[in-house]
Structure 1
Amino acid sequence: MNDSTDNSLQAVRGCPVAHHGADPTRLYGPEAATDPAGIYERLRKEHGSVAPVLLEGDVPAWLVLGYRDNRRVLDNPRQFSRDARIWRDWREGRIEETSPIMPMVGWRPDCVSQDGEPHRRLRGAVTDGLQAAATRGIRRHVTYFANKQIDAFADAGRADLVADYAEQLPMLVLTRMLGLPAADGQRLIESCAEVFKGGEGALEHNDRIMQILAELAERKRAEPGSDFATALLEHPAGLDHDEVVSHLRLVLIAAHTTTSNLLARVLQRVLTDSARLSGLVSGELNISSVVEEVMWDTPPLSVLPGRFATADLELGGHHVQEGELLILGLAAGNLDPEVRPDSAVAVQGNQSHLAFSSGPHECPGQNIGQSIIEIGVGVLLLRLPDLRLAVPPEELGSTASTWESRLDSLPVEFAVQVHN
């Protein structure tokens, strides 16, 4: 490490990276975009189950790679808080509010940013609202929008199931569930993607999302409906305006990004394995078992932000200081050789993956997401039973950010549908 690099790192603080006397690994940039799994494997060999990394803007963090260490962090909020207000780098002025990682890591008035009683109060409102939405015909909505999306390309005999289906279907369902006009969906798809991607546009797109959702909250305050926004506004927990808008944002971004990514990966798994595809079409194979495999092998979020050490402690053989940022390697943890020595071994029936997080902050909307995926795949195969890949499987590529790895496209062909 040269003097200028060393000085810049020390200026960031006695940061995790500086403890190791080696150039830090960046979880952003060209290598991270094309080979995140290679980075995780290298970090595991060099550092063990926890590794020092740099996030966008060279923000220092600890990446948790081991399955058991991920569980320890996720299940122990007293040691590893979700409250970013204790983040030392931010508290001491080294992280700007304009940093592109703030939409993912920074504090906001939602249940994900709180622990203890504040978390229970807000999460209760979210859980009740999602439960109410799930009982108001979520399966009917998914079936309707799945057919509508398929209608848009059924006459063409070909489609890109990422751009034309997996990216669209979850947002169509979510706009209906939240109480948004369908016309807002396309703008929100783009903005959700940009927030996860990071970079210069992340803050601008986060502001766009907040504006659309603030307008939604005001409309629903004046004209209540049978939707998630109204459920938050009317909940006995008494959420204020900022809390309502922040939870609309939380559900929108988390649900769309994870569900669209997982739907694309499930379709990829099905279409690159003829035995699975024929089993699903014939009804001999249950789609839920394929979803489970994908959640183990390619979880929709590769890395989960973030936790903050509430005191100095040891984790994975490393000394973590109070207030330091930890990010959870869900993809790396699911493939940890200590718990999965042979990643080729079937995992059907084993739901102990990290895909939905764990502990008090475990995803409250996972059943809705799984319904969207299972119904979306089922309707697609029913409508297009001769569906097949239009390119060799090895030509399918992915692009990663710090937080996720998304399938670029999934081109398919099928017989043109004849309408009666």
Structure 2
Amino acid sequence: MTDLTPISATTVTHDPQASYQALQDRWGLVAPVELEPGIHAWLVMGHHELCQVVRNEQLFSRDPNNWRLYTEQVVAPDSGLGPMMFPRDNAYFADGDKHRRLRGPLDDGLASLDEHRMSRFIRSTCTDLIRKFEDQGKADLVSDYAAVVPMLTVAGLFGIGMEQGEQLRQGLIALFSSAENSQEPALVIERILTGVMHARRAAPTDDLTTAFLRHPGLRDDFEIQQSMVLMISAGYETTTTWIAQTLRLMLADRRFGGRLRGGRLGLDDALDEVLWRDPPMSNMPARYALVDCELAGMPIQRGDALILGLAAANADPRVHTDDPWLEIGNRSHLAWSAGPHACPAQRAGRMITRIAVDTALHRLHDVTLALPADEVMLLPSPWTRCPASLPVRFTPSGQAHPG
């Protein structure tokens, strides 16, 4: 196939739904797209069709060893797609019994969290970060806030100190960019985590690194390290994007911001509206067809890659309307995917995002964007739509009127 739309056309635009609609008008609910020059995949955009894919491990595998373009070495070994689409020994890239074994430590670790202690840590972190700039009357709510809260929280759960946090953050940005230079920073993440593992093996503490080291479901250090990569990268990127997109909508969309500030839209309902409109992962890689089959009338061949168009599926009129009042309480969105690989950290992610947005709402007075809404730039990625920055102005805390 020639003249295919790059998948990044759906993420770098200010109107992603228009890009998805253009693909649907041309191809239907499953469309061929280009991941990088010469590397094609199918983008699944229908809600029903996407659920078919993610709930059927017998037809669609998560293991990249079933990706024909990978096994035939059509994809270059140094491809920017590597960090997100090449095999790793963690639950994200496994099926069946292996997936359940590798998923167990993640589920057990999340279940063991002291949510009250975690809540206090997040609120204290948010408050401390805002105190650093609340007297200045201006800030960047991504680099100064939305990107820092999840980093400190998720890294802290694994016993990783602040001094390595910025290295982790830069590596994670590179990992999700899938750009040509994304592999080396991704290796930095692994080196940091290996060092933490060695430290915890010598001196165990009450953190998730120690819990992973002791978990019988993880058989060797590589599986432990890769499970840490998965949990930290997914927790950081998705939560940063969720916080940033909620703050962006609050500031750029008068209807959304007015309903939220005026109390007509509860905070949890506002967070759900963001999950519908701009989910943390717009396009999620990948599933690989195990047999020749048909999906929404398109001929899928064995070994083809299928990308989950989560943001497109959320706009499917079969499950979602444009009436915000009818949609309150509707949580049939696919922001966290579905099936065996549905995100295990939805509860923790909501806690971090809710506290971060709530703290910003209450501590920043008369906050407005410092540039036109359509000039807010996005971090380059075929998978996510995280604002690169959110420069804002507000009344400095010493001048704000109480109440």
What does 1:156-305 correspond to in 2, within 5 Å?
156-273=136-253, 277=257, 280=260, 285-305=265-285
1:242-280 deviation per Cα after TM superposition (whole angstroms, max 9, x unaligned): 011001111111111110011011112222355655665
Determine if the alignment matches structure 1 residue 66 to structure 2 residue 72: no
Q: Is the alpha carbon distance of 1:131 and 1:395 closer, same or farther for their aligned partners in structure 2, counting shifts above 3 Å? A: same
The 1:162/1:71 distance shift into structure 2, 3 A limit, reads same
Check conservation: 2:78, 2:180, Cα contact below 8 A: no
Any idea what the Cα deviations from partners look like across 1:121-166, whole Å, max 9, x if unmatched? Answer: 1111111112223547211111111011101111211111112111
Q: Answer yes or no: is 1:352 the counterpart of 2:307.
A: no
In structure 2, relative to structure 1, the CA distance for the partners of 1:70 and 1:179 (3 Å cut) is: same
User: Which residue matches 1:55?
Assistant: 35
Contact 2:7 2:33 in 1 (8 A): yes
Listed one character per residue, the Cα deviations across residues 220-254 of structure 1 (whole Å, up to 9, x for unaligned) are 11111111111111113243100110011111111
How far apart are the structure 2 equivalents of 1:343 and 1:201? 42
Q: Higher mean Cα deviation, 215-224 or 392-401? A: 392-401
Q: Deviations over 1:388-416 (max 9, x none)?
A: 33334344343542111122322222222
Give 1:308's aligned residue: 288
Conserved 8 A contact 2:11-2:282: no
* Distance in 1, Cα, partners of 2:377 & 2:281: 17
Alpha carbons of structure 1 residues 269 and 129: separation in structure 2 relative to 1, 3 Å: same
Q: Is the 8 A contact 2:30 2:45 kept in 1?
A: yes
Cα pair distance change 1:40/1:416, threshold 3 Å: same
In the alignment, the residues of structure 1 paired with residue 286 and residue 320 of structure 2 have an alpha-carbon distance, to the nearest angstrom, of 24
Q: Is the partner of 1:237 in helix, strand or coil?
A: coil
Do the aligned partners of 1:356 and 1:366 also contact (CA within 8 Å) in 2?
Answer: yes
| Selected match of 1:371 from 351, 355, 364 | 351
In the TM superposition, 1:31-42 aligns within 5 A as 33-34=12-13, 36-42=16-22
1:75, distance to aligned residue in structure 2 (A): 1.2
TM-score (structure 2 length as normaliser): 0.93
Contact 2:135–2:398 (Cα < 8 Å) also in 1: yes
Asked whether 1:323 is paired with 2:303, we answer yes
Instruction: Mark the runs of 5 or more structure 1 residues left unpaired by the alignment.
Output: 1-16
Q: Could you tell me how far apart the structure 1 residues matched to 2:214 and 2:115 are?
A: 17
Name the CA shift for 1:341/1:288 in 2 (closer, same or farther; >3 Å).
closer
Deviation at 1:171, TM superposition (A): 0.3
Aligned mates of 2:161, 2:124 — CA distance in 1: 16
Structure 1 residues 387, 167: CA separation in 2 closer, same or farther (over 3 Å shift)? Answer: same
Q: CA deviation at 1:330?
A: 0.6
Q: 1:61 Cα shift? A: 0.8
- For 1:270 and 1:238, how far apart are their aligned partners in 2? 42
Taking a change above 3 Å as real, the CA distance of residues 134 and 306 of structure 1, as seen in their structure-2 partners, is farther
Q: Check if 1:109 corresponds to 2:89.
A: yes
What is the letter of the counterpart of residue 76 of structure 1?
Answer: N
Separation in 1, partners of 2:91, 2:161:
25
| Contact 1:26–1:32 under 8 Å retained in 2 | no
